[in-house]
């Protein structure tokens, strides 16, 4: 396939490289002028999408996505697919899909989980929203860049799944960290805490697979000085997207709201920027109730 790839950052560059390695003809564009192995550089977004069967975007946010989409949609060939893999707000995902479909294109919102490690290894999970025809066109590319793709529903459904998942993740990480900090103050050994909770009803991915306590459980960013992993500021971005979606859908999400406030305080008012999102544990450790 002929593929245009826009946004060659930490995630986009290895994803584009994997498509090229698999034999696709990939032309890439990034405003930062990045070059990627096997990917033909373009001097503009329009140049990257001209003649492409599929255009993939991997951009920082919804405003940038909307701007790039408005620029490239008129230059895309009829019947081509616009596949956005960025994490953006549901409203932007739906607006871009509407604009693409009105121009005779297929559209998929397909945010990913798996981080830069998964992007490099080609083991991402894609959660996709769009028509059956659009998903079918993108699926062979998801198979190269990832290990699993779930077609979640119509336009916006991929972003909806992503932010609901990450709202659970943020809330659960906070709960796990505050429970460890309480256990410390009650004189409970962290290893014993892990042994009990990881096999009891308090178990979760954050406890069992990504334990925030150093030296306890499987290897995680806690064992590497809380170097990300999944940075606290990216968790904050996703929690804000979930609150924005909850506002627009009139959903009551009190735990998600508090989680967004706590990560905002941690990243913007304290020392959380650049730390893994599990560094909530040392944050709680230092604090009392006051």
Using CB under 6 A as the criterion, which residues of the chain lie in contact with ligand NAD when the complex forms? 6-12, 29-32, 34, 45, 58-60, 64, 68, 86-87, 112, 115-116, 234, 237
DSSP state of 92: H
Query: Closest Cα to residue 235, out of 263, 215, 214?
Result: 263
Using CB positions, name the residue nearest to ligand NAD: 9
In the complex, least distance from residue 196 CB atom to ligand NAD, rounded to whole angstroms: 31
Give the Cα separation of 235 and 226 in Å (integer).
14
First to last CA, the chain: 59
Instruction: Give whichever of 148 and 185 is closer to ligand NAD, judged by the CB atom.
Output: 148
In the complex, least distance from residue 270 CB atom to ligand NAD, rounded to whole angstroms: 22
In the complex, least distance from residue 84 CB atom to ligand NAD, rounded to whole angstroms: 9
Tokens of 73: 């949609």
Instruction: Give whichever of 85 and 181 is closer to ligand NAD, judged by the CB atom.
Output: 85
Which 3-state string (H, E, C) describes 148-189? EEEEEECCCHHHHHHHHHHHHHHHHHHHHHHHHHHHHHCCCC
In the complex, least distance from residue 123 CB atom to ligand NAD, rounded to whole angstroms: 13
In the complex, least distance from residue 37 CB atom to ligand NAD, rounded to whole angstroms: 16
**Which residue in 162, 185, 192, 273 is the catalytic one?**
162
Tokens of 207: 């406890």
Instruction: Give whichever of 61 and 131 is closer to ligand NAD, judged by the CB atom.
Output: 61
Instruction: Give whichever of 162 and 181 is closer to ligand NAD, judged by the CB atom.
Output: 162
Give the Cα separation of 41 and 13 in Å (integer).
12
Q: Is 162 a catalytic residue?
A: yes
Instruction: Give whichever of 169 and 197 is closer to ligand NAD, judged by the CB atom.
Output: 169
Give the Cα separation of 224 and 199 in Å (integer).
25
In sequence order, the 6+-apart residues with CB closer than 8 A to the CB of 193 are 179, 180, 183, 213, 216
Catalytically annotated residues: 162
């Amino acid at each position: 396939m002929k593929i245009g790839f826009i946004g060659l950052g930490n995630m986009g560059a290895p994803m584009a490289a994997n498509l090229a390695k698999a034999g696709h003809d990939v032309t890439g564009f990034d405003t930062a002028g990045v070059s990627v192995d096997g990917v033909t550089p373009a001097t503009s977004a329009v140049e990257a999408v001209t003649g492409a069967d599929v255009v993939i975007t991997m951009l920082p946010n919804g405003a940038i996505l909307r701007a790039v989409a408005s620029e490239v949609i008129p230059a895309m060939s009829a019947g081509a697919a616009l596949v956005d893999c960025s994490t953006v707000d549901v409203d932007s995902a739906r607006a871009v899909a509407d604009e693409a479909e009105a121009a005779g294109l297929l559209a998929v919102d397909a945010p990913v989980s798996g981080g830069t490690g998964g992007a490099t290894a080609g083991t991402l999970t894609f959660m996709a929203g769009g028509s059956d025809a659009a998903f079918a066109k993108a699926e062979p590319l998801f198979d190269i860049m990832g290990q699993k793709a779930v077609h979640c529903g119509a336009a916006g459904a991929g972003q909806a799944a992503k932010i609901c998942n990450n709202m659970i993740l943020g809330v659960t990480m906070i709960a796990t960290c505050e429970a460890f900090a309480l256990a410390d103050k009650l004189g409970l050994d962290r290893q014993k805490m892990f042994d009990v909770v990881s096999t009891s009803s308090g178990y979760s991915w954050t406890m069992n697979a990504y334990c925030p306590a150093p030296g306890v459980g499987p290897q995680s960013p806690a064992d590497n000085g809380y170097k990300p992993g999944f940075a606290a500021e990216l968790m904050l971005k996703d929690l804000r997207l979930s609150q924005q979606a909850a506002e627009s859908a009139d959903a009551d999400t009190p735990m998600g709201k508090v989680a967004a406030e706590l990560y905002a305080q941690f990243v913007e008012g304290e020392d959380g920027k650049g730390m893994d999102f599990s560094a909530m544990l040392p944050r709680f450790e230092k604090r009392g109730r006051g």
